């Protein structure tokens, strides 16, 4: 078998998430169906992260095993052809050693969350951002975010249906910044860790948005973390502003 790493971009709105589910449309299902058109058999691909319903990706990474050797460019072109009209695209493809595993070889996942701050309804950004109408205090949000950096018990920011064995994770980065776009001011969250709990990023953002709006103080974030109680978490924000942006490996397979 020949193994290939795929860099995948997708719009999450039409899907129940990355993971294949019987009778439902998933990103994994779309890619595997395209692979079956190229090599007619059952395919089972692995990805760096299992994004939830409505969550997007700019740099999801998956690997597939093929019975015949393919030129990576031709394989990506064939997959993109067979995935039409689904909003999924292979943006890069490389042959890798069979020891490479998209999930287990990954060293860090980077997520981007976008909040659009404006009163007028979103048009071009609709479905791609979480829109709030009132300005947010970025300095207060960054102060609150600082409490979350490092190794902690993140029970407060973990979904009640999370299947991870432990709520203890190490958060490498949680930066909050503003970006001026033609559509208005956006608040961007750059969140990085080796792995995440279910709904962890959306729980962070929902809580920090409340800090930016003045409903919570930065110190309330620390109190919520220390509580180790899901009820201490702020509201979980909607999924449409969340993107799996990048996956880091010991050696980047996509650098030629």
What whole-number distance in Å separates Cα of residue 146 and Cα of residue 25?
38
Q: In 3-state terms, what secondary structure has residue 37?
A: helix
Structure tokens at 30: 């779309």
CA-based R_g, the chain, Å: 19
Residue 200's region, left for phi above 0, alpha for psi from -120 to 50, else beta, is alpha
User: Do 83 and 32 form a contact (C-beta atoms < 8 A)?
Assistant: no
Q: Which of 52, 65, 71, 252 is catalytic?
A: 52
Is 229 among the residues known to form the active site?
no
Neighbours of 27 (CB within 10 A): 30
What whole-number distance in Å separates Cα of residue 247 and Cα of residue 54?
19
Which residues are designated catalytic? 52
């Amino acid at each position: 078998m020949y193994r290939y790493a795929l860099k995948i971009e997708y719009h999450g709105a039409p899907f129940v998430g990355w993971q294949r589910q019987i009778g439902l449309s998933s990103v994994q299902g779309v890619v595997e169906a395209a692979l079956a058109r190229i090599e007619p058999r059952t395919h089972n691909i692995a990805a760096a992260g299992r994004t939830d319903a409505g969550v997007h990706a700019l740099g999801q990474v998956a690997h597939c095993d093929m019975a015949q050797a393919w030129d990576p460019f031709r394989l990506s072109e064939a997959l993109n052809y067979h995935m039409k009209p689904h909003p999924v695209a292979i943006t890069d493809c490389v042959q890798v050693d069979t020891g490479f595993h998209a999930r287990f070889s990954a060293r860090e996942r980077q997520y981007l969350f976008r909040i659009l701050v404006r009163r007028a309804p979103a048009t071009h950004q609709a479905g791609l951002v979480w829109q709030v109408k009132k300005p947010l205090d970025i300095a207060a949000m960054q102060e609150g975010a600082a409490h979350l950096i490092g190794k902690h018990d993140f029970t407060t920011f973990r979904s009640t249906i999370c299947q991870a064995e432990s709520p203890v994770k190490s958060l490498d980065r949680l930066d909050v910044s503003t970006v001026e776009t033609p559509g208005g001011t956006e608040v961007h969250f750059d969140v990085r860790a080796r792995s995440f709990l279910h709904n962890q990023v959306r729980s962070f953002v929902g809580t920090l948005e409340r800090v930016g709006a003045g409903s919570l103080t930065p110190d309330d974030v620390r109190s919520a973390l220390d509580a180790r109680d899901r009820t201490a978490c702020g509201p979980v924000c909607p999924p449409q502003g969340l993107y799996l942006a990048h996956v880091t490996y010991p050696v980047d397979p996509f650098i030629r």
